[in-house]
Each structure stands twice: as C-alpha cells, then as structure tokens.
C-alpha cells in the first residue's frame, strides 16, 4: 500500500506558506549566485567588442577551434585527470583491500591519512615546492644521500618532469580519499556473500572479481565521479606549484581560462571556454550517474 | 456528540486506502478499529489526528468539523506504535511536554506529571532517559504523556504490538481499567482480534479500506455480517464448508466429536490432534473439507481414526458463496 | 596450522605496509613544519637535517607581525565563520522543508538534484562572471563579497548533508510533538534541532574547512591587503621574485592548524561528508 512518506501534505494554500518560506532564501541565494552568473556568462561569451560597439557573435566559440593553446590545455587536463585518477584508484583500492580488517590503530591511521586531503591547496603547493626544490628539497636531498645523481631533476622547473610532478602531488593528496571511501564501502559488505563463495569453492581471485567488485561498484563509481569532477577543474595546486609552467607545460584548462580572463582581460573568450568546460563536466557526470543508477537497479 | 466519520475516503494516487467510511463514536466509548495490515485502520486514525489529509468526506469532533483544523489544535492525544518518546528529554520532560507547549506553569506541570506517574507506577523512572527504559516502561511513559493532558480522546496505534506476549496480556488488562477510570473516548487500532474482543465496547472491522461491521464484540462474534468478519474474529477461526448454493460456517467450539457413531452424526477422519492442556484441538477431514474442533482436555484419538461429529444447529452460520454476505437470521444480543 | 601462520604473516605484512603509508602522508607536512622553524642556514644546508637543528620562531614573527599575515589570518577567520553561519541557517531550513514537506510536481526531487548540481560546477565557470558582477557592485576587495560567495558555495553542501540527517530522524517524533499541541516551528526547535545537533556541528565544521581552504574565488575577488585571505596571501608571496621560504612555511603551518584540529574532531563524519553522503564511513 502506498503510504505518504512525507510528513506534511499541503492542505490548502495556507499550508504551502511555511515550506515556501523555508526554501525561498536558499533558492534566492542560488539563483543570484549560481544561475545568474551563468546567464551573465553566456551573454558575454556571445558578445565581442568591435569598432562599432558590441555585437552578438559566435566568434568566441569558433575561435576555440583554431586556438592551439586551448587544445593543448585540454590535452593537458585529460592527461592529468586520467593519470592521476588511474594511480589514485589503483593505489587506493589496493590499500583498501589490504587493510580491510579489524586492526589496531585504525583511528590513528584514518586521522593521519586525512591530513593530505584536508590541507588548503596552497599549503599543499608550498609543501611540495619545498620538497621538490632541486637544491635543498627533501626529495633530491634523499636521492643524493642514496648516491643517485639529481642532475637535471629540476622537477617543477623541468619541461619534461613538470607534468609528472604535479600529477604526483595530486596522487599524494587524494589517494587517501579514495582509500577511505573504498574502505568504507568494503566494510559495508556483509559477511554472507564471502561465506557462500567459500563454501562454493571459489578462489581468492574469483571471489574478488565476482563478489567483492560488484558489491563495491557503487562506492567505486561515486569516488570516480567525484575525483573526475575535481581533476577536470584543477587549479589551485598547479597555480602554486608551476603557475602552468614552465612555459605552457602544465597549463590546464582552468588555468588557461584564468589567464585569459585576468591577465589578458578577454572575458568573453574566457566565458566561452568556461562553457565548454561546463558542458564537458556535465556530460561526464551524466554518464557516471547513468552507470550508477543502472547498477543500483540491479 | 463524540466523534463522527461521514463518508470519509482517502486516496493515494490511484489507490483507495479508505473507502467511504461512516462511523459514529459515542462519548466515553472504547472503539477498536480491527483488521489485517493494509485495511486502512491506521490511515483512518491518522486522518482523525490530522496527520493525513482527508480526500473526501468529513470528520466531526463534538459536532465541529475538523477537516481543516491543524493537528495541534484538535486536542487529541496519541500513543504511537513506536511510542515516539523524545530521546533527548528525560521522562519528566517527555510527559510534561504537552503541558509545557500549552504554557502551563511549572507548579501545575509538576503536580500533574507526578499524579499521572503515580497512576501508571512509573515514579521511579522520572529522571531517566527513554533509552534507559525497557519496552514495557516506555509504553507506560507514552500512555502517561497521553493522559497528562486530559484531551477529548485518546488515539492508540497498535500500542501493545512491540511487547512480548505475557506483557501484552498484562497491559491489556491495565489499559482497560485505566480507560474505565478515566472515562475518555478511546479509538484503538490493532490487527489482533483478541485485543479487540477484550478491550472494545464496540469493534469496527475493516478490510481493504471498507467498513465490514461495527458492533459490540459479542455481536461480531455471534452474528458476523459476512464471511470475512466471521473468519477474522475467533481463534482458532471458524470452519467453512463450501457449497454451490451456500457456504456453511461453524465455530470449532460448536462441533462435538464422538468416538462412537451417533444418530445424525457425520463421519470424519482425524488428521491430527493438538493437546493444549486445558483442551484438545482436533483437526479433521470430512471428504475434501478440513475442519478444526475443540474437544475436552481428555479427548484422545489416533491419526486416521474414524470419529463422528455433531454440529450445534442453532450455532451454524450461512454465507452467500459469491458475495460472502451473511444469510443467517439471528437474534442479536 | 600453516593457514594460521599465513594469517599471522599477512597481519604483520599489513602493519609493515601501514608505516610507509603513514610516513608518506605525513612526512612532507612535517618537512614544511621544520622549514618554518629552521634558521636560513639550516634551510639550505645539504644534506638537509630532518631532526637535528636549533628551532627559531623568527619566521613566524616575520610573517605575522612584520609582513601582515596576521591581517590575512583575521580575514580568513571572519569570512569563514560568517559564511558558515549564513549557509547553515539558510541551508538547514531548506533541507528541513525538502525532507518533511511534500511539494507539488515532484519539486522535492528536482530541487534537491538542482541544488546538488550547482556543487558540480567548476569554480572558474562562475568565478569569471562573479568577478564582473562584484566589480559592477563595487564589492571587489571586500570581505563581504567573499562571505556572499562562500555562502552560496557552501549552501548545496549544507542542504545535502542536513537532508540526510533529517531523513534519518523518524517522523514519529515530530508527529507526536504536533499531537501534543506544539506548532511546526516549535516542534522543529524543541524536538528536531536538538536531535540533529551532531550532524549540524559536523556540517558546520566541514563548511569552515572548505571556506578556510578556498583559493580561486579569493584570488579573483580580493587583491588588496584589506580583504585578502590567508591562502591568497601565501600564494602571492610564492610567485614573487624572492621567495622567503621560512615565512611561507610559517604562514602555511598556521594555515593548516585549524584544519587539523577540526579534521581530527570530525573523523567520524568525514567520509560521509566528502562523498556527499553516498558512503557512510
């Protein structure tokens, strides 16, 4: 029998007043500070300054196709996202699987692992600029002590190594997050399926593949979704670590948009690029969510 | 005056949960809404409380139409199935809450809470929190909270169903005494027909949102209006023998079982016997029909053995095979 | 018996894995802390000393007294606390309404999803127009602009988290309060809020952390000392020609202290919050 799951059903118009009053401020804030800016942004992206004043044009969007920097920034962003996500996921999953049991010191472990992801991104940037400093940083210092030459290992200043460095920093910061979410997901899996698999004679690998992974799918998808969204829009750490350099080596799309808007003051073009980024993240999140819902239906 | 439901219906989407219910409850009565889960009894109670809106029809309390009156102004008290005690308040604060909300001053609150606590024998629990109490104790607190206010009526939604069997029987008796003492109109929802029979002055039997019969417990037992009511009330339930023109119903206690053949008795074979201690249940096969009879405690018979049955003629019921309506003419008590 | 031995070995193996993981997570932060406490000589020494050095508080003094980081700290604190309070009040009310009231046209679901989706925007997408809007409103370089923006930033999160907490509360209790004679607002204040207080506290701390750490909007909207927050202050100095690492580290170390305190207090809710309630850690 369908039962009313809500508490209050609106009786008459007077009864709608209270919920409306409760929701209105939130809606107002979001309308003015999330929706309106988007509309504003669309407007300026479709305008360009010409000698005869402001015209409506798709010029900002068509320019995207011929702008090499934009395309390179997109490539950088994808490379960054895929590489970081891959490492974080594999490391996080591996750690979660290995540490999934009642162990002493779990609270301590969790507290310590929280540190990297709770830090302000600028602090992460400072920490790793210190670590990666070619002359007095701890990384090169340790390498030297182990007898390895650090010639040319200028990390964030090296065109070849800069991207690797920023990816590594992201992995350092966010693997704990993947680990914690997947661990929580693993621990939510009840004992029974494992016991049934044991009785059925399943090997460790088979159990992992046929029991653990499917039951972990929701957590996996959530963590992948959240990380992908965050990786595609990355800005803070890279800004501090390399400012997109050396040259253009680590310029991601958010950095390029920032530079276009606040160094070159080309707001219209920046807005156009923002929309491409927004569309991209929307499409990807929709795909993820479809996956997530499909799994839940099962 | 009392409480009246006039053609009350409740729909959710396309489904009709309560269908054209009309009931008149007199002042001071103890009315039980009885039926299986999903029959609409809880929804009816909640509509009376104002926690659900009425799709059509009217509800009157003491002559006043209350459909549009918000819950907090209806002056009713409710005991929830889960007791709904406020976990963050002490027992004193829980019981005193209705008074506090009505702006009673501290002295009055203290006096009333103590009086009610004494009535329900929970004085020793007053400073504790709900999570420290047993199920039975919580139930008393829920009751105390309901009666501290002296409302127009008490609404109870299966208040005993979360208690173990022995406690349930004990609380049943105490509830009845309490209501008798206080004399307030009570509407009580349950699926347990024993509770209905023992507590109610009148029972409203419901099925799939419709009222089946509204009468005293004895009348419902002896003169059920249809097959559903006949089968639902009474334990073990009534036996039915299906026929083309008519369905015959006979209660287990109205079948006499004989080990020797008798004039006019029907032959039957014993399926199994259950020795209950104070009586014996005999499960029988008659042709394709299965019957249950109640026999004296010392009755014994082997499985598959032959026995002879006599039905008390004046206690037999007749139902229409298609509609289930009662065809019996019976003198009502 | 072999099985038991394998189990034990496995257990030890796990502990062994734990130690490097912990070190890996904490060592860089520790390194930065030491830089903030080392004299300049020690900082540039090779090989760099990890544990043995004479600590000095010069850099801290330099940062917060001489170079004005104290002001940035104050700005961060004011902006974080104010925006958290605003977001909590507005968001909790909305969350309550969305959980407990039935709205027509399936608005509950649509509104909730919409509120959540605003959280998914890349910050830069709204940063550019917000800069222009604030410029037009002459609110650039003010704390107010940040407070407003951070409130909007935190709002979806508050609504989403509090919805979960309200949904976990059985509705019996509010119904009992109503039948007992309380008004809806009274029931909310007297019965509901005390029971979701832990959730409220956790959400508040999350918002404080998010606001405190935020960088992009602060960078875009504040460029003068009057309103600059700590992260922007730190970043500004890093990208200058001469980098005073001691000062940088001191400022950064102070920046992370409140976070650590909060995070430790919040452990239980952290996973739930960061995964937007999808996983209950």
Residue A47 has a pLDDT of 82
- Average the pLDDT over A41-48 and give the result: 86
Dist. CA B41–CA B211, nearest whole Å: 10
Dihedral pair phi/psi, residue A248, rounded to 5°? -120, 15
Q: Rounded to whole angstroms, what are the CA distances from B73 to A12, A19, B50, B107? A: 17, 20, 9, 24
Measured CA to CA, the distance from residue B294 to residue B279 in angstroms comes to 7
Report ipTM (2 d.p.).
0.82
pLDDT in tens, A92-111: 998 888 777 655 566 677 77
Q: Do residues C114 and C185 make contact, with C-beta atoms less than 8 angstroms apart?
A: no
Neighbours of chain A (3+ CB pairs under 8 A): B, C
Q: Which chains contact C through at least 3 pairs of Cβ atoms less than 8 Å apart?
A: A, B
A259: part of which helix (H) or strand (E)? helix A253-262
Cβ contact A184–C90 (<8 Å): no
Say whether the peptide bond before residue B199 is cis (omega within 30 degrees of 0).
Answer: no
Residue B214: is its pLDDT beyond 80?
yes
Q: Which residues of C touch B145 (CB under 8 A)?
A: 176, 180
User: Among A7-16, B221-230, C13-22, C82-91, which is the least confidently predicted range?
Assistant: A7-16
A46, A60 contact by CB (below 8 A): yes
* Cβ of residue C58 closer than 8 Å to a chain B Cβ: no
pLDDT confidence bin for A77, thresholds 50/70/90 = very high
CA closest to B51 among chain C residues = C175
Q: What is the dihedral of CA A148, A132, C24, A182, to 10 degrees?
A: -120
Could you read off the pLDDT of A205-242 as tens digits, one per residue? 777 887 788 888 888 888 888 899 889 989 998 998 88
A3 Cβ under 8 Å from any chain B Cβ: yes
- From chain B, the residues in CB contact with A9 under 8 A are 52-53
- Distance of alpha carbon B188 from alpha carbon B78, whole angstroms: 10
In this prediction, residue C2 carries a pLDDT of 53
Tens digit of pLDDT per residue, chain C (281 long)?
Answer: 456 666 677 777 777 777 777 888 888 888 888 888 877 777 766 666 677 777 778 778 777 777 778 888 899 999 999 999 999 999 999 999 888 887 766 777 777 777 777 777 888 888 999 999 999 888 888 888 999 999 998 998 899 889 889 988 888 899 999 999 888 888 888 899 999 988 898 889 889 988 999 999 999 998 887 788 888 888 877 655 566 777 888 888 888 888 877 777 776 666 666 666 555 54
Residue from A255, A259, A271 nearest C130 by CA? A271
pLDDT in the model for residue C149: 93
Which two three-digit tokens encode residue C134? 């604030």
- Residues in B closer than 8 angstroms to A11, CB to CB, are 53, 68
For residue B121, is it left (φ>0), alpha (ψ between -120 and 50) or beta? left
The angle formed by the CA atoms of residues B63, B69 and B72, to the nearest 5 degrees, is: 115
Q: How does strand B210-215 pair with strand B202-207?
A: antiparallel
List C-alpha distances in Å: B167 to B137, B159, B164, B174, B175.
11, 12, 6, 10, 12
- The residues pairing with C247 across neighbouring beta strands, listed in sequence order, are none
Q: Is the pLDDT of residue B333 over 90?
A: no
Check residue A258 and give its pLDDT: 92
Q: Chain A contacts of B69, Cβ < 8 Å?
A: none
Question: What proportion of chain B, given as a percentage, has pLDDT over 70?
Answer: 98
Q: Report chain A residues whose CB lies below 8 A from the CB of C166.
A: none
Report the chain C residue with the minimal C-alpha distance to residue B82. C172
- Count A/C contacts: CB-CB distance under 8 Å: 288
Interface residue B159 vs chain C (CB under 8 A): no
Tell whether the torsion through CA atoms of A69, A75, A77 and A83 is positive or negative.
negative
In tens, the pLDDT along B155-199 reads: 999 999 888 888 899 889 989 998 898 899 999 999 999 999 999
Q: Which of A2, A11, A12 sits opposite B12 (nearest CB)?
A: A2
> What are the CA-CA distances from residue C84 to residues A28, A119, C124, C161, C262 (Å)?
17, 18, 21, 14, 14
Residues in B closer than 8 angstroms to A1, CB to CB, are 12, 15, 17, 38
Whether residue B49 lies within 8 A of chain C, CB to CB, comes out as: yes
Contact C121 A278 (CB under 8 A): yes
**What pLDDT was estimated at residue B36?**
94
Residue percentage of chain B with pLDDT more than 90: 57
Query: pLDDT digits over B49-101, tens only?
Result: 999 889 999 999 999 999 988 888 899 999 998 888 998 889 999 999 999 88
- pLDDT band at residue A5 under the 50/70/90 scheme: very low
Average pLDDT over residues A256-273: 91
Q: Cβ of A3 and B12 within 8 Å? A: yes
Chain B within 8 Å of C175 (Cβ-Cβ)?
yes
pLDDT score of A10 more than 50:
no
Residue B15 sits at the chain A interface (C-beta within 8 Å): yes
Q: Report pLDDT for B114.
A: 92
Q: What six digits make up the tokens of B153?
A: 């009526």
| Closest CA in chain B for residue A4 | B12
Residue among B76, B85, B101 whose CB faces C182 most closely: B101
Q: Which pLDDT belongs to residue A58?
A: 81
- Using the predicted structure, report yes or no on whether residue A276 has a pLDDT greater than 70: yes
> Would the CB atoms of B101 and C175 count as touching at under 8 Å?
no
How far apart CA B180 and CA B173 sit, in angstroms, is 11
Instruction: Identify whether the C-beta of residue C156 lies closer than 8 Å to the C-beta of residue C116.
Output: yes
Measured between CA atoms, the residue of chain C closest to residue B146 is: C180
Give the model's pLDDT for residue B111: 92
Chain B residue with Cα closest to A10: B53
CB distance C22–A131 less than 8 Å?
A: no
| pLDDT, averaged across chain A | 82
Is-contact B212 B323, C-beta < 8 A?
Answer: no
Residue C94, token pair as written in the block: 């909305």
Q: What band does A1 get if pLDDT is binned at 50, 70 and 90?
A: very low
Interface size, chain A vs chain B, as Cβ–Cβ contacts under 8 Å: 16
Task: Pick the range with the lowest mean pLDDT from A180-194, B124-138, B241-255.
Answer: A180-194
Q: How confident is the model over A199-204, as a mean pLDDT?
A: 77
Which pLDDT does position C281 carry in this prediction? Answer: 46
Higher per-residue confidence, C273 vs B255: B255
Q: Comparing C-alpha atoms, which of B57, B39, B35 is closest to residue B48?
A: B57
Considering only the beta carbons, identify the residue of A1, A3, A11 that sits closest to B53.
A11
Helices in B50-184 by DSSP H: which ranges?
91-101, 106-119, 135-147, 165-182
Residue with the bigger pLDDT between B46 and A127: it is B46
A34-38, A69-73, A199-203: the lowest-pLDDT one: A199-203
Go through A130-168 and write b for each residue having 16 or more CB atoms within 10 A of its CB, e for each that does not: bbbbbebbbbbbeeeeeeeebeebbbbbbeebbbebbbb
- Is C97 within 8 Å of A185 when comparing Cβ atoms? no
Nearest neighbour of C271 by CB, restricted to A120, A180, A257 = A180
Question: In A, residues 12-31, which contact B (CB 8 Å cutoff)?
Answer: 12
What is the spatial distance between Cα C224 and Cα C237, in angstroms, rounded to a whole number?
13
- What CA–CA distance (Å, rounded) separates A106 from C21? 13
CB-CB: which of A30, A181, A239 is closest to C152? A30
Mean pLDDT, rounded, for B201-217: 95
Chain B residues with CB under 8 Å of A12 CB are: 68
Contact C130 A44 (CB under 8 A): no
Collapsing DSSP states into helix, strand and coil, what is residue A119? coil
Q: Which residues of B129-142 are buried (b: 16+ CB within 10 A; e: fewer)?
A: bbeebeebbbbbbb
Which residues does chain C have within 8 Å of residue A41's beta carbon, measured at their own beta carbons?
125-126, 128-129
CB nearest B68 (choices: A1, A3, A11):
A11
Q: What pLDDT does A4 receive?
A: 41
Distance CA C10, CA C201 (A): 39
Which chain A residue is nearest to residue B69, measuring alpha carbons?
A11
């Amino acid at each position: 029998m369908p039962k009313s799951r809500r508490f209050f059903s609106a009786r008459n118009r007077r009864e709608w007043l209270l919920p409306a009053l409760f929701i209105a401020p939130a809606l107002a804030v979001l309308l003015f500070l999330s929706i309106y800016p988007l509309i504003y942004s669309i407007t300026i992206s479709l305008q360009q300054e010409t000698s005869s004043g402001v015209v409506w044009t798709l010029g900002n969007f068509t320019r995207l196709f011929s702008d090499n920097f934009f395309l390179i920034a997109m490539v950088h962003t994808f490379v960054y996202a895929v590489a970081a996500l891959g490492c974080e996921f594999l490391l996080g999953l591996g750690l979660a699987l290995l540490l999934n049991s009642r162990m002493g010191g779990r609270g301590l472990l969790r507290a310590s692992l929280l540190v990297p992801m709770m830090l302000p991104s600028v602090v992460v940037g400072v920490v790793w600029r210190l670590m990666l400093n070619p002359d007095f940083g701890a990384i090169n210092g340790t390498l030297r002590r182990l007898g390895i030459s650090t010639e040319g290992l200028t990390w964030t200043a090296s065109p070849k190594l800069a991207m690797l460095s920023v990816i590594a920093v992201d992995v350092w910061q966010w693997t704990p997050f993947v680990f914690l979410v997947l661990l929580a997901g693993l621990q939510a899996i009840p004992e029974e399926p494992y016991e049934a698999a044991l009785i059925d004679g399943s090997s460790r690998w088979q159990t992992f593949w046929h029991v653990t992974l499917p039951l972990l799918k929701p957590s996996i998808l959530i963590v992948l979704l959240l990380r992908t969204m965050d990786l595609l829009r990355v800005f803070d750490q890279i800004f501090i670590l390399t400012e997109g350099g050396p040259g253009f080596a680590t310029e991601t799309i958010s950095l390029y948009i920032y530079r276009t808007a606040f160094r070159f003051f080309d707001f219209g073009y920046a807005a156009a690029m923002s929309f491409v980024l927004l569309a991209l993240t929307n499409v990807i999140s929709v795909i993820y969510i479809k996956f997530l819902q499909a799994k839940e239906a099962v | 005056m009392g409480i009246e439901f006039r053609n009350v219906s409740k729909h959710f989407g396309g489904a009709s949960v309560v269908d054209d219910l009309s009931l008149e409850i007199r002042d001071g009565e103890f009315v039980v809404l009885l039926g299986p889960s999903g029959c609409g009894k809880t929804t009816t109670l909640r509509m009376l409380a104002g926690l659900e809106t009425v799709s059509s029809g009217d509800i009157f309390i003491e002559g006043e139409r209350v459909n549009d009156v918000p819950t907090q102004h209806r002056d009713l008290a409710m005991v929830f199935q889960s007791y709904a005690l406020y976990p963050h308040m002490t027992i004193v604060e829980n019981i005193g809450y209705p008074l506090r909300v009505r702006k009673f001053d501290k002295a009055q609150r203290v006096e009333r809470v103590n009086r009610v606590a004494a009535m329900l024998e929970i004085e020793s629990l007053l400073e504790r929190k709900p999570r420290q109490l047993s199920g039975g104790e919580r139930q008393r607190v829920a009751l105390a909270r309901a009666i501290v206010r002296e409302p127009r009526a008490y609404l109870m939604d299966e208040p005993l169903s979360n208690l173990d069997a022995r406690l349930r029987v004990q609380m049943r008796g105490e509830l009845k005494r309490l209501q008798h003492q206080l004399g307030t109109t009570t509407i009580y929802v349950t699926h347990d027909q024993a509770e209905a029979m023992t507590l109610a002055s009148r029972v409203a039997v419901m099925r799939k949102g419709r009222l089946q019969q509204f009468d005293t417990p004895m009348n419902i037992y002896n003169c059920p209006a249809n097959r559903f009511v006949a089968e639902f009330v009474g334990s073990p339930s009534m036996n039915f023998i299906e026929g083309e023109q008519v369905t015959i119903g006979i209660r287990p206690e109205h079948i006499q079982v004989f080990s020797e053949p008798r004039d006019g008795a029907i032959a039957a074979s014993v399926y199994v016997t259950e020795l209950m201690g104070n009586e014996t249940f005999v499960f029988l096969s008659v042709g394709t029909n299965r019957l249950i009879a109640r026999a004296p405690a010392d009755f014994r018979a082997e499985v598959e053995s032959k026995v002879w049955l006599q039905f008390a003629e004046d206690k037999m019921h007749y139902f229409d095979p298609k509609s289930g309506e009662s065809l019996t003419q019976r003198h009502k008590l | 018996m072999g099985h038991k031995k394998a189990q034990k070995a496995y257990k030890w193996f796990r502990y062994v894995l734990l130690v490097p993981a912990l070190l890996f997570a904490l060592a860089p932060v520790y390194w930065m802390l030491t830089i903030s406490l080392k004299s300049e000589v020690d900082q540039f020494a090779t090989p760099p000393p990890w544990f043995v050095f004479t600590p000095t508080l010069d850099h801290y003094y330099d940062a917060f007294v001489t170079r004005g980081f104290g002001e940035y700290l104050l700005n961060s604190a004011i902006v974080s606390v104010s925006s958290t309070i605003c977001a909590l009040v507005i968001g909790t009310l909305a969350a309550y309404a969305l959980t407990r009231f039935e709205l027509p046209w399936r608005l509950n679901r649509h509104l909730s999803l919409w509120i959540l989706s605003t959280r998914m925007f890349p910050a830069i997408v709204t940063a550019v127009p917000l800069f222009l809007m604030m410029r037009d409103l002459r609110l650039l370089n003010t704390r107010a602009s940040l407070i407003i923006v951070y409130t909007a930033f935190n709002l979806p999160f508050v609504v989403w988290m509090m919805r979960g907490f309200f949904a976990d509360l059985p509705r019996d209790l509010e119904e009992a309060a109503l039948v007992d004679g309380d008004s809806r607002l009274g029931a909310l204040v007297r019965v509901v809020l005390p029971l979701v207080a832990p959730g409220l506290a956790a959400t508040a701390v999350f918002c404080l952390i998010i606001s405190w750490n935020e960088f992009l909007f602060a960078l875009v909207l504040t460029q003068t000392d009057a309103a600059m927050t700590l992260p922007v202050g730190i970043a500004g100095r890093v990208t200058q020609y001469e980098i005073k690492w001691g000062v940088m580290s001191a400022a950064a170390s102070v920046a992370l202290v409140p976070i650590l305190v909060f995070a430790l207090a919040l452990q239980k809710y952290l996973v739930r919050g960061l995964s937007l309630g999808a996983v209950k850690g």
